[in-house]
Structure 1
Amino acid sequence: MGEWFASLAGTAAGAQLATLLALTSAIAHAVFGALQKGAHDPWLSRGSIDASLALISAPVALFLVPWPDATMWAILAGALVIHFVYKLAMALAYERAAYSFVYPVVRGSGPVVTVAAASIIFHEHFTLVQWGGVALLSGGILMLAIRNLSEVSLDPRAMRMGLVFALWGGVMVAIYTTYDAWGIRSGASPMTFLAWFFFITALDFPFIAAFRYRRMAAPPRLPPLALRGLIGAFIAWISFGGVMLATYLDKVGEAAVLRETSTVFAGLIGWFILGEGVGPRRLFLMAVIAAGAVIVEFGG
């Protein structure tokens, strides 16, 4: 399969597949974020997800793809550090503020930095029209966060700390998107990078979650937590794997922007599946976000 993806990189067919992968990743990431913030403590949820992710990725990494060379080991070590800092920011943000506020802030603050970094590192160039689309998408996402905040009752200090950690998470999204795109392009096969990436970067949070679980006065039941982790692990493969393959096949900046339409899909999931009220203002902002993504995709 790695050879097939390599043959598509830089082609028109590869660009079409990259668009599909980025949009699929966006849908999956909306579900992934809700899983981490859901019924359980966000530290436990992420630890459970990573434990399952390591378990299902280990056979693929150890037996089905080649082992990394010295250069790839160094790249994977860097990915471990970057993604640990990102996961730390997300757990701290979800611990202090509402999902409907944190998630849009994280997703809205990343695309501009990612596109700028991709233009420097990968020599990608966006037209003025595409930059307008990026501004429209990021602005719409951040306005959605402000709109959601007006309907959530939060302690002011907790809200401020949640905002700080959410912005930190947004910066880390830009960093890991750019770094992972460079990493997946550096190896002989994209599937080798993906398999080892999911195995290596999932080894940290299970220990943090286990330590936190033992110190809880009333820890949650393990079976529901483990089930949430298993579901989240498969979704993570789709979400993070999809966007990394998209950056391998086509432009990093375009894949990153399309992935941030996850905020639209999160709203649609809440509307159609969870029965949450959306309202005309949210619908308008979701349309603005979608319009920004379309402009970026077709404005080149």
Structure 2
Amino acid sequence: MSLFPLVLVLVAAIAHASWNLLSKQASQADGIVFLWLVAAASSIIWGPVAIGYLVVTETAPTWTDAAVITGSTLLHLGYFMLLQRGYRDGDLSIVYPIARGTGPMLASAVAVLFLDEHPAPAGVAGIVLVGVGVFMMSGGGAEGDLRGIAFGLATGVFIAAYTVWDAQVVGAFAVAPILLNYGGEVGRMAFMTPLVLGGRRPLIGRVWREHRYRVLGAAVLMPFSYLLVLFAFTMAPVSVVAPMREVSVLVAVVLGGRLLAEGDLRRRLLAAGVILGGMVTIALS
């Protein structure tokens, strides 16, 4: 991986861990309402950027663009809902590393099996290290919050799915990353609106009053972090970018241990370090 996409991925990792901290802090609120508010705020905040792109480039989305963006939106919707539900039951420093470690490991495997990417032996070793780190993070199957672990693993499946799908959207389908990102925000808001207005309307005001700064912070950082990753996908293979961005697991474990007072910090940092070592091995292969 060259220097520029590496910098993009590392900045994205810090932003990604930061918005996950905000989501964890709001995890006891209604998850659907919180995610809907974030998507609505993102649609407003990032709207001028998307419109400006269309005006400057003089392009218009096609029906094919809309179809593949819709597929991405549904995958991301499943990801966000599982992640937020996991944060209700489990620690940030457990759910996040397991989800982020499982996702790229599966994404790399799919890239090798179906996208004709061929990592070097060091890359394969890195993928194995990521798997070992995830196993350590779960307590070796003997300890830890089992519900949080289960939601982390399920979230990782969706991470793998949208990672591979979105890499093809910005690659093979040549959809601009900013359009994919913004279309996903608007799409999630649209898909969730019937759920929110159908039975959760009274909760909107309360969730907004209690978590408005977290909503606005996540609304800025969610698209920003993934936009950087989408640009990196246009410059480097999926099997390299997907694992390398997971340096955020180390950031998340530190945030969880220091700011949220989550326990067992030493073991979780060790497991995060193994995951990080695997990702660095993959990136340098």
Query: Which TM-score tier does this pair reach, normalised by the shorter chain?
Result: 0.7 to 0.9
1:51 aligns with one of 25, 35, 40: 40
1:81 aligns with one of 74, 77, 84: 74
**Corresponding residue of 1:6:** none
Aligned equivalents of 1:56, 1:126: Cα separation in 2: 39
**Corresponding residue of 1:230:** 216
CA gap of 1:147–1:272, structure 2 versus 1, over 3 A, is farther
TM-score normalised to the size of structure 2?
Answer: 0.84
**Corresponding residue of 1:98:** 91
TM-score normalised to the size of structure 1?
Answer: 0.80
**Corresponding residue of 2:127:** 134
Are the aligned partners of 1:86 and 1:169 in contact in 2 as well (CA < 8 Å)? yes
229-238 or 140-149: which moved more? 140-149
**Corresponding residue of 2:190:** 203
CA gap of 1:276–1:190, structure 2 versus 1, over 3 A, is closer
Aligned equivalents of 1:20, 1:27: Cα separation in 2: 11
- Unmatched segments (≥5 aa) in structure 1: 1-11
Aligned equivalents of 1:279, 1:92: Cα separation in 2: 22
249-258 or 271-280: which moved more? 271-280
Q: Does 1:254 align with 2:243?
A: no
Offset at 1:198? 3.6
**How many residue pairs are counted as aligned between the two chains?**
278
1:64 aligns with one of 49, 53, 66: 53
Q: Does 1:245 align with 2:235?
A: no
2:104 aligns with one of 106, 111, 119: 111
228-237 or 186-195: which moved more? 186-195
What secondary structure is seen at the aligned counterpart in 2 of 1:67?
coil
Aligned equivalents of 2:283, 2:195: Cα separation in 1: 40
Residue identity matched to 2:133:
G
What secondary structure is seen at the aligned counterpart in 1 of 2:78?
helix
175-184 or 81-90: which moved more? 81-90
Q: Deviation per CA, 1:46-87: give whole Å up to 9, x if none.
A: 222111111123333345313211211111121122222222
- Unmatched segments (≥5 aa) in structure 2: none
Q: Does 1:29 align with 2:22?
A: no
Residue identity matched to 2:128:
A
**Corresponding residue of 1:177:** 163
Offset at 1:201? 3.8
What secondary structure is seen at the aligned counterpart in 2 of 1:250?
coil
Aligned equivalents of 1:227, 1:272: Cα separation in 2: 20
Are the aligned partners of 1:52 and 1:233 in contact in 2 as well (CA < 8 Å)? yes
Q: Deviation per CA, 1:20-40: give whole Å up to 9, x if none.
A: 112222211111222122134
Structure 2 counterparts to residues 6-17 of structure 1, below 5 A: 15-17=2-4
Residue identity matched to 2:72:
A
Identity over the aligned pairs, expressed in percent? Answer: 27
Q: What do you get for the CA RMSD once the two structures are aligned?
A: 2.9
Offset at 1:253? 1.3
Aligned equivalents of 1:82, 1:283: Cα separation in 2: 29
Q: Does 1:125 align with 2:111?
A: no
Offset at 1:226? 2.7
Offset at 1:272? 5.8
Offset at 1:195? 3.6
Are the aligned partners of 2:253 and 2:265 in contact in 1 as well (CA < 8 Å)? no
Q: Deviation per CA, 1:104-133: give whole Å up to 9, x if none.
A: 221121122100112244322111211111
**Corresponding residue of 1:3:** none
